[in-house]
Amino acid sequence: MARKKTKSYPESFRREAVRLAVYDYVWGFTGDMNMKYLILVLAVTSLLGCNSSDNWVPDDGDSSIEDIELTGTWLMSNEIERYKTSTDEYLSSTYISESYLLEETDKGVKYESCRRYGGIPNYGIKTKEHFYLNPIDNGFILNGGGVLEQRSEYTNEWEPEFYYKSIQKITKITDVSVIDNGTLIVNGPISIEEYSHVCIWEVSYSVGNKRAFEIMVPFDDSYVSFRLDAYDEIVAGTYDYTTPYSDSLVRVDLSSNATAYWDIVESNTLSPSSVSLNLIEYNGTKISGTFSFTGQDEGSYSGEFEAFLHE
């Protein structure tokens, strides 16, 4: 009997930051995913209305953002600090990172995340003192060594016992556009072989050993995400598990909202079972391996991956 097909929603840098404020959702694999997505949308609205940290003063001498050439590849990182409302105690941090490509034009600063590079771009605004990805935000301020930083605070109505502080930083990696961060090959009803446009998204925590990686490549009218979740310290080796709900130190998935993906899978996630993951290399700079599994579409999948991590 075929398993009931489930839905999940691909990760993104901004949505993940909010989702972490809605509790341990990044590690959730069960529950009403549509309701979680609704919570996610509402939480984004809350975040956009966050309180600014106007008392923070940057320290970068007499330099201004006008002096910084923004064209190039940048690392977008975000530290989400969680505090206990009743005591004002700092509890923990979540760290998220993804690369962005910026280009200064006469229409504004064009910016795209690595995974969406080549699609419809967004445009930011560069002033003497701020760089705005969105004018509704506080804006990034120059804070030493050419690093741009934006701070904000926000709450979440579903978790009134906590409040959050966000410290976003944009650090230039190179003056040119770089979208080649590895390899993703998938054999099966969904077939992928990508070497030149491979993006990596990462999240880690100050408490516990949970960590997640998404390797993303263009696919049809969107992109495909190969996700690896590590629930504790892991090393190179083989990891096998039977169902999406099995206890395992590592879980993987392949998801997408692309039309061609939905036409084949009739969902946006494969929710793999009978998984065998061979983790070949895992260190502070690189993750690679091979895999095989059965998707909820009853298709047999295998492949390999390699990604260079953000330092």
- Specify the pLDDT at position 146: 86
- Specify the pLDDT at position 62: 57
| Mean pLDDT, residues 57-85 taken together | 85
- Specify the pLDDT at position 6: 53
Least confident of 5-9, 210-214, 261-265: 5-9
On whether the CB atoms of residues 266 and 259 are closer than 8 A, the answer is no
- Specify the pLDDT at position 5: 53
Which residue has tokens 């895992």?
A: 282
How is the chain split among helix, strand and coil, in percent rounded to 5?
15, 45, 40
Alpha-carbon distance 226 to 217, whole Å? 9
Domain ranges of the chain: 49-174, 180-308
What are the φ and ψ backbone dihedral angles of 14, each rounded to 5 degrees?
Answer: -70, -45
- Specify the pLDDT at position 61: 52
Q: What's the pLDDT tens digit per position in 30-46?
A: 333 333 333 333 344 34
Q: What percent of the chain shows pLDDT beyond 90?
A: 72
Q: What's the pLDDT tens digit per position in 4-25?
A: 455 444 444 344 444 443 333 3
Strand partners, 52: 152
Whether residue 145 has pLDDT greater than 90 = no
- Per DSSP, the residues of 214-232 read EEEEEETTEEEEEEEEESS
Q: What's the pLDDT tens digit per position in 116-130?
A: 888 888 999 999 999
Least confident of 43-47, 206-210, 298-302: 43-47
Among candidate residues 37, 35, 16, 38, the one with its CA nearest the CA of residue 27 = 16
Per-residue burial over 183-196, b = 16 or more CB atoms within 10 Å of its CB, e = otherwise: bbbbebebebebee
